Amino acid sequence: MILLESILDGIRDIKDHFGRTMLQLVGIILGAGSIVATFSLSVAGKSASMNYYKVSGGIQKISVFDKPTGKVTLDAKALASKGLTYHDATVLKREGKEIDLVSPVANENMTLRYRDVEKPRSIMGVTPAYSPMNDFRAGSGRFITDNDLATAARVVVLGTERAQEFFGSDDPIGKTISINGTGYLVVGVMEEKYFSFDHKRNVMRWLNRQIYIPLTTFVTRKGESLERGKVSFMHVRMKDVKRNEEAVDEIKAILFREHGTKDFDVFSRVANLRRNEQNNQMYDMTFMICGIISLLVGGIVVMNIQLASFNERVREVGTRKAVGASPAQIFFQFLSETILVSVVGGFLGIVVGKFFCDGIAALTRDPAAITVGTAVWAIVFAAGTGLVFGMYPAIRASRLNPIEALRAE
């Protein structure tokens, strides 16, 4: 009952001194708003990155690209290396203990023609592993199969935009399209891929513009041997993200053995995610410190105003103690005032933080979203500020000697 009565007394005092209460609220609101903005931008950014990775193959994907050595070497094997090849992909698949999927890709601009439509477009030579590697499947028809790869079949799969570009509203499945003067049977059209960080631009649109043929067809049609057929890049999927470093080291070791030199780069999504998190920590800490400083300043303002309030109400407090109010009742009355003001400031800070988030997101085009956890943290920090800075005025009030208080003018 003491606590409930103290809260009711605190609410009455807040209503009686509304202007003073507003001054107390300003610092708390800005501090809580800064914390809301910090957590919201950080959480939303990480969530968006994870969602992007999820729709594009997962964080277990590792990318391998060609890289010039940048120096002359006398090693014959290194000099003979032409970069990434189809042979490298088969060796990685056969010997890799930490990986379960390898997707080599070769691409080149070729001339496509269907009836009166003729345009130069990028063609990608891929294997069946490309589909699960990128979480990208045929919306109608089928994708490249193992049989297509084994027989170097003249089949083609189109992205949605390319299908519309060459065939319009017609169903392209079963029709023949010319690629560099050779006819290819259209066996599939991919699903439309979409992902946006800002709900405006589709960052996956490039997938809808692709054209796929079997990698073996791509290589042999150029007159190259299958074993030494050049590929543009490879994607490799690790079995266990917890063994990211082991998987990367294994890929590097196998490729170095095959090439005799480090003319390749290996990029892991797991490692990239960790680097981004480390870089973002600095910004998170900066905003967090700014928010905490605002709360501290707000807390000091709250404490000073509560002390001023106590000095104005010395006779009132003395009278209450003289007629039987216990030190605990006085203590909780003053402390509840401070905490109530801080909690209200925390709730208002959530609203202000939403405006902060929207403004920053509009300027940076980064995602922002206020979560329940973010709102809870804002209230907790605000209430904690009220608790800490309200203790001193409450203790002074509870220890007041009623005789001296009644003598005060």
Q: Please spell the DSSP secondary structure of 45-57, one letter per residue.
A: HHHHHHHHHHHTT
Instruction: For residue 201, count other CB atoms closer than 10 A to its CB.
Output: 10
The alpha carbon dihedral of 345, 373, 336, 302 has a sign of negative
Distance CA 226, CA 150 (A): 11
- Is the whole-model pTM more than 0.75? no
Whole-Å CA distances, 112 to 116, 117, 126, 158, 210: 11, 8, 18, 12, 12
List the structure tokens of 72: 């002359």
Distance CA 386, CA 375 (A): 17
CB-neighbour burial class of residue 68 (10 A; exposed 0-12, middle 13-18, buried 19+): exposed
Distance CA 156, CA 125 (A): 10
List the structure tokens of 233: 């890049």
Residue 403, classed as helix, strand or coil, is helix
Contacts 24+ apart (CB under 8 A), 357-363: 357/36, 357/37, 357/40, 357/41, 360/37, 360/41, 361/41, 361/198
> Strands 182-190 and 155-158, how do they pair?
parallel
User: CB-based contacts of 58: which residues, under 8 Å, 6+ apart?
Assistant: 135, 237, 269
pLDDT at residue 150, as a whole number: 92
Q: Are 167 and 183 in contact (CB under 8 A)?
A: no
Among 202, 199, 198, 200, smallest CA distance to 159 is for 202
Q: Are 257 and 95 in contact (CB under 8 A)?
A: no
Dihedral class, residue 297 (left if φ above 0, else alpha if ψ from -120 to 50, else beta): alpha
Listed in order, strand segments (DSSP E) in 180-244 are 182-190, 211-214, 233-238
Whole-Å CA distances, 182 to 112, 114, 124, 145: 9, 11, 16, 20
Predicted confidence pLDDT, tens digits, the chain (409 residues): 455 655 566 566 666 666 667 777 777 887 788 778 777 777 766 777 778 888 888 889 999 998 876 554 546 656 666 789 999 999 999 999 999 999 999 999 999 999 888 999 999 999 999 999 999 999 999 999 999 999 999 999 999 999 999 999 899 999 999 999 999 999 999 999 998 877 778 888 999 999 999 999 999 888 777 777 889 999 999 999 889 999 999 999 999 988 888 889 999 988 887 777 776 677 677 767 777 777 787 788 778 877 877 777 777 777 777 777 778 877 887 788 788 888 888 888 888 888 877 777 677 666 666 777 778 878 888 888 888 888 888 888 888 777 666 665 5
Q: Are 390 and 302 in contact (CB under 8 A)?
A: yes
Q: Are 177 and 114 in contact (CB under 8 A)?
A: yes
Dihedral class, residue 106 (left if φ above 0, else alpha if ψ from -120 to 50, else beta): beta
Distance CA 382, CA 26 (A): 12
Distance CA 279, CA 102 (A): 30
Residue 2's Cβ-side half-sphere holds a number of Cα atoms within 13 Å equal to 11
Residues in the chain: 409
CB-neighbour burial class of residue 357 (10 A; exposed 0-12, middle 13-18, buried 19+): buried
